[in-house]
């Protein structure tokens, strides 16, 4: 079978690996290095940046842990950030990861082409190289995995000097003295957290009463408290309307007429599916008025030979989601057994400090549910391992169905929450009970022990 994949992000390259493993003839066309937004501009670089920010946080706690410089000097007072070195490391990691993915995919026999591509019909792709050379490729199946682009406001476009989105941010070589972050969702919160730890004066503009509006309200409250204790100013119930740039800084005007002044501004107001210029209309592929390509549980579009995966579908814009959609598309196209994609089983994490990881049913879902649900929430501060590490913020929360004890979801707000959510994710995906989760062994002392304890308590309540 001949498969052509347009887009080299997680949805594209994971699909290519699966298709090649099943003997398909695969061509992957990407306008940039493999990895897409996730590896080159978003997930990998942003999380690498946050690791440097966490190191600054470690310096703050070193004295309490008995670690200090020779002569008794406090590490926190002698530490500063080298933004140039941080960005060099971040960009190096991103490009190295992209190169590693290219080698891995290439070893499977996939043909990788760096070019633009568009559909001429449901089974014909036109490839256009930068030099102007173009040709056509026939395909039995086409997968669209072109990702998304940062959303901007008219008149507030990034210039790479004072105004940024995540695309331009990594060219920044000096620490912003006063950074305005517009948008308080996951991306805005992560960058605000990082630069506050680096030492910037951060102003976070949030359109809601509480930051992280899509997350567990208790988790959002923990992060808000952490932000404000680090000196961040949160401008609640405000939206950016305009921006003025000067030689020494910027001013952001909100819809309420307030002006927020800073040296730099970073827009984190969402992503727009990158579906333009792909010839989708010529192929008869339906696109929503928000530029998304709707798909079913196995990543099919309305055209039988065209599949789509990742951000371009407008669903959860996560690397893990894109990868699973891409794999599902290939398994289904190649006649393999496949489990339809389940939104309720997607684990996600916000890499603030503490991290916020969730899976399954949310507090909002529970409030609207007709099913009786029991919840247990345990503070991280009571966990013995957390005490050793001086972790005082956060909690572990589990939701289970009353009667059966079926695990419906959970939230972990803690250091390494991105790893700690895994057992809950397995339980939700496999429809395990709290009894099964409670009977599993955990290491003592470990923060995961609190997951087991929460499950044990739910055995009685559920």
Binding site listing: 47, 146-148, 183-190, 270, 311
Distances (CA, A) of 434 to 261, 431, 459: 50, 10, 6
Strand, helix or coil for residue 416: coil
Structure tokens at 155: 């008149």
**Cβ contacts of residue 45 below 8 Å, gap of 6+?**
90, 91, 93, 94, 170
- Bridge partners (DSSP) of residue 30 are 114
Binding residues for NAD(+): 183-190, 270
Q: How many CA atoms lie within 13 A of 231 on its CB side?
A: 11
Burial class (CB in 10 A: 0-12, 13-18, 19+), 102: buried
- Backbone φ, ψ for residue 22 (5° rounding): -100, 15
CA distance 195 to 354: 15
Q: How far is CA 243 from the centre of its chain?
A: 27
CB 405 within 8 A of CB 462: yes
CB 263 within 8 A of CB 176: yes
Structural contact between residues 450 and 381, judged by C-beta atoms closer than 8 angstroms: no
Report which of 327, 340, 462 is spatially closest to residue 402, judged by C-alpha positions: 462
Q: Do the Cβ atoms of 40 and 33 come closer than 8 Å? A: yes
Handedness of CA 26, 30, 34, 35 (dihedral sign): negative
Binding residues for FAD: 47, 146-148, 311
Cα Rg, the chain, nearest whole Å: 23
Counting every residue, how long is the chain?
462
How far is Cα of residue 192 from the mean position of the Cα atoms in its chain?
15
- Could you tell me if 243 and 269 are in contact, meaning their C-beta atoms sit under 8 angstroms apart? no
Q: Which tokens sit at 275? A: 């579906």
Single out the residue of 1, 22, 5, 98 nearest to residue 309, CA to CA: 5
Residue 311 near residue 319 (C-beta atoms within 8 A): no
């Amino acid at each position: 079978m001949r498969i052509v994949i347009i887009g080299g992000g997680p949805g594209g390259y994971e699909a290519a690996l699966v298709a090649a493993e099943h003997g398909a003839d695969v061509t992957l066309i990407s306008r940039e290095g493999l990895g897409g937004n996730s590896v080159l501009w978003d997930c990998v670089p942003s999380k690498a940046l946050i690791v440097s920010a966490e190191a600054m946080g470690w310096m703050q706690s070193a004295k309490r842990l008995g670690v200090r410089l020779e002569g008794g000097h406090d590490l926190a007072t002698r530490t500063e950030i080298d933004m140039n070195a941080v960005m060099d490391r971040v960009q190096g990691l991103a490009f190295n990861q992209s190169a590693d993915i290219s080698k891995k995919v290439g070893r499977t026999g996939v043909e990788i082409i760096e070019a633009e591509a568009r559909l001429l019909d449901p089974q014909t792709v036109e490839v256009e190289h930068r030099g102007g050379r173009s040709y056509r490729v026939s395909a039995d199946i086409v997968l669209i995995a072109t990702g998304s682009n940062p959303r901007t406001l008219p008149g507030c476009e990034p210039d790479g000097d004072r105004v940024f989105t995540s695309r331009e941010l990594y060219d920044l070589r000096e620490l912003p003295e006063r950074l305005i972050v517009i948008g308080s969702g996951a991306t805005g919160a992560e960058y605000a957290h990082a630069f506050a730890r680096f030492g910037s004066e951060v102003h976070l503009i949030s359109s809601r009463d509480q930051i992280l509006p899509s997350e567990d309200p208790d988790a959002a409250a923990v992060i808000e408290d952490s932000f404000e204790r680090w000196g961040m100013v949160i401008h609640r119930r405000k939206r950016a309307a305009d921006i003025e740039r000067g030689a020494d800084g910027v001013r952001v005007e909100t819809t309420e007429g307030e002006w927020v002044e800073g040296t730099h501004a970073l827009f984190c107001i969402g992503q727009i599916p990158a579906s333009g210029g792909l010839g989708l209309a010529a192929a008869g592929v339906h696109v929503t008025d928000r530029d998304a390509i709707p798909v079913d549980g196995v990543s099919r579009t309305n055209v039988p030979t065209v599949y789509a995966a990742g951000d371009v579908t407008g669903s959860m814009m996560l690397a893990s989601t894109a990868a699973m959609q891409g794999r599902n598309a290939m398994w289904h196209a190649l006649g393999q057994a496949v489990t339809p994609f389940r939104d309720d089983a997607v684990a996600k994490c916000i890499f603030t400090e503490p991290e916020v990881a969730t899976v399954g049913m949310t507090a909002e879902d529970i409030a609207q549910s007709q099913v009786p649900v029991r919840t247990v929430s345990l503070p991280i501060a009571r966990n013995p391992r957390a005490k050793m590490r001086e972790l005082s913020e956060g909690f572990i929360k589990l939701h289970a169905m009353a009667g059966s004890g079926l695990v419906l979801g959970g939230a972990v707000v803690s250091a390494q929450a991105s790893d700690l959510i895994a057992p809950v994710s397995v339980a939700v995906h496999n429809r395990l009970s709290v009894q099964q989760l409670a009977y599993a062994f955990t290491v003592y002392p470990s923060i995961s022990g609190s997951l087991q304890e929460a499950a044990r308590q739910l055995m009685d309540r559920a």
